[in-house]
């Protein structure tokens, strides 16, 4: 039941931080500003109705050059993509060297802001730019900066007729194509959580994915593939409820701020014996290294929507015990879509053996449990030894890898050194 738990841990985190922010603060000793709480509890100043671009809201204010791009997928979605091409003065800027591109792919229910939440000396997006890389920040379909489409409006259910299959099939190839054409170079990839799942399944398709032939190397933080070892009560109850109710209860857009999803999560928290106040531990494991300013910034950036179909697909992944394309529920429908009665399988043993991979996972992670990462490693057991670097961080949990104040020293420096060895 692990992957369902992964999704719902993230959903419940964003919901609970909005509903019970004081509990988060007390459980971690964090101090969340009253202004941020007021905005997200419906009191005080309202949030900005129309979001400005990620460059303006999070990058240029720190003195970095940033460009906004739109990438159109083959199925009509328009994805927002930001480029931080230079570091600050004196930090990987103006040295005349050709900069290697790095693409950052976020996880579920968040967007590219994930990589920019901490200070410039602690956020991976800025650290990479200051280290001499050409940084590209992806934003998955349905998130706040990627809600446009050639013919569909995000208010229409047809817009949300996709799962992570389409991220693999359309979003990643379109984004890789764009970055490759802009830079003329193969791309380093960094994914976190769901960003690792879509990467692994894409890589398993080899050159047919339009990604591998443009890929220089990949770093997978809190890698998600096999997730069967999570046992918190919050995850178990959410997973069971999700399987039983998701198809008939929810609308096409899975939006934490809309009534159907909010009511569903409130019902989960009302379950006898359920503790929805030990938030960060219940959701991601016992993170060692988050601070209150990061939590405050998270509160000021609404959780992002995804497709309900995407959540259903993740549930199917756990139910079936393997990574497959979306199951349409009966043989006839599957034959119509795939030409066979069962959905095709993503076989991770097909990942090219010579693809440089860096993986980092934590001993306290309730989502990418070390035992499940071990199962992923079994799929990579024939990988070229000099192309695979695996790092275990005993004290890290899921969120530490993107928001931890010590992530630079513990994880990012090793990852950057790995990238620089890939010529």
DSSP E strands in 145-301: the ranges are 148-149, 187-192, 215-221, 253-254
> For 32, which DSSP code?
-
- Which 3 state secondary structure label does DSSP give 149? strand
End-to-end CA distance of the chain: 40
CA distances from 370 to 34, 63, 224, 282, 405 (A): 37, 39, 11, 17, 22
> 179 and 210 in contact (C-beta within 8 Å)?
no
- Alpha helices per DSSP H over 184-291: 194-203, 233-249, 259-269, 279-284
Q: How far is Cα 238 from Cα 12, in angstroms, rounded to an integer? A: 9
Is 398 assigned a catalytic role?
Answer: yes
- Degrees, nearest 5: CA angle 365-395-373: 40
Q: Among 165, 202, 398, 400, which one carries the catalytic annotation? A: 398
Q: Among 85, 146, 163, 193, which one carries the catalytic annotation? A: 193
Is 80 assigned a catalytic role?
Answer: no
Q: Among 365, 369, 372, 400, which one carries the catalytic annotation? A: 365
SS3 content of the chain, % helix, strand, coil (to 5): 45, 15, 40
Q: How far is Cα 369 from Cα 222, in angstroms, rounded to an integer? A: 9
> 120 and 87 in contact (C-beta within 8 Å)?
no
Quickly count: other Cβ atoms within 10 Å of residue 168's Cβ: 23
Is 365 assigned a catalytic role?
Answer: yes
Q: How far is Cα 159 from Cα 235, in angstroms, rounded to an integer? A: 29
> 323 and 372 in contact (C-beta within 8 Å)?
no
DSSP E strands in 85-173: the ranges are 101-105, 134-138, 148-149
Q: How far is Cα 296 from Cα 314, in angstroms, rounded to an integer? A: 29
- Alpha helices per DSSP H over 53-123: 54
Q: Report how far Cα 127 is from the mean position of its chain's Cα atoms.
A: 19
Q: Which residues are catalytic?
A: 193, 365, 398
């Amino acid at each position: 039941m692990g992957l369902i738990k992964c999704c719902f841990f993230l959903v419940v985190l964003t919901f609970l931080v909005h509903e019970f922010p004081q509990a988060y603060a007390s459980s971690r000793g964090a101090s969340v500003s009253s202004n941020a709480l007021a905005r997200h509890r419906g009191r005080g100043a309202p949030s900005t109705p129309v979001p400005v671009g990620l460059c303006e809201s999070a990058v240029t204010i720190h003195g970095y050059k940033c460009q906004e791009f739109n990438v159109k997928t083959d199925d009509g979605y328009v994805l927002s993509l930001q480029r931080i091409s230079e570091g600050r003065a004196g930090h990987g800027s103006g040295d005349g060297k050709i900069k290697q591109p790095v693409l950052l792919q976020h996880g579920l229910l968040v967007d590219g802001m994930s990589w920019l939440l901490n200070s410039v000396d602690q956020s991976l997006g800025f650290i990479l730019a200051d280290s001499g890389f050409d940084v590209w920040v992806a934003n998955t379909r349905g998130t706040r900066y990627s809600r446009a489409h050639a013919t569909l409006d995000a208010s229409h259910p047809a817009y949300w007729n996709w799962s992570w299959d389409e991220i693999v099939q359309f979003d990643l190839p379109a984004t890789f194509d764009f970055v490759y054409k802009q830079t003329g170079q193969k791309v380093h990839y960094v994914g976190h959580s769901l960003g690792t799942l879509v990467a692994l399944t894409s890589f398993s398709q080899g050159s047919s994915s339009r990604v591998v032939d443009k890929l220089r190397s990949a770093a997978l933080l809190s890698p998600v593939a096999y997730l069967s070892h999570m046992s918190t009560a919050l995850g178990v109850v959410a997973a069971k409820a999700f399987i039983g109710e998701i198809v008939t209860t929810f609308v096409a857009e899975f939006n934490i701020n809309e009534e159907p999803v909010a009511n569903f999560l409130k019902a989960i928290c009302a379950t006898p014996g359920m503790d929805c106040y030990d938030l960060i531990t219940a959701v991601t494991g016992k993170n060692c290294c988050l601070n209150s300013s990061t939590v405050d910034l998270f509160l000021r950036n609404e959780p992002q929507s995804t497709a309900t179909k995407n959540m259903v697909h993740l549930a199917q992944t756990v139910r079936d015990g393997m990574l497959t394309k979306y199951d349409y529920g009966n043989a006839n429908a599957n034959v119509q879509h795939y030409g066979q009665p069962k959905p095709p399988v993503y076989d991770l043993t097909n990942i090219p053996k010579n693809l440089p991979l860096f993986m980092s996972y934590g001993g306290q992670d309730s989502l990418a449990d070390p035992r499940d990462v071990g199962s992923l490693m079994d799929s990579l057991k024939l990988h070229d030894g000099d192309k695979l670097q695996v790092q275990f961080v005993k004290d890290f949990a899921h969120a530490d890898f993107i928001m931890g104040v010590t992530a630079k020293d513990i994880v990012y420096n090793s990852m950057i050194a790995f990238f620089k060895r890939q010529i």
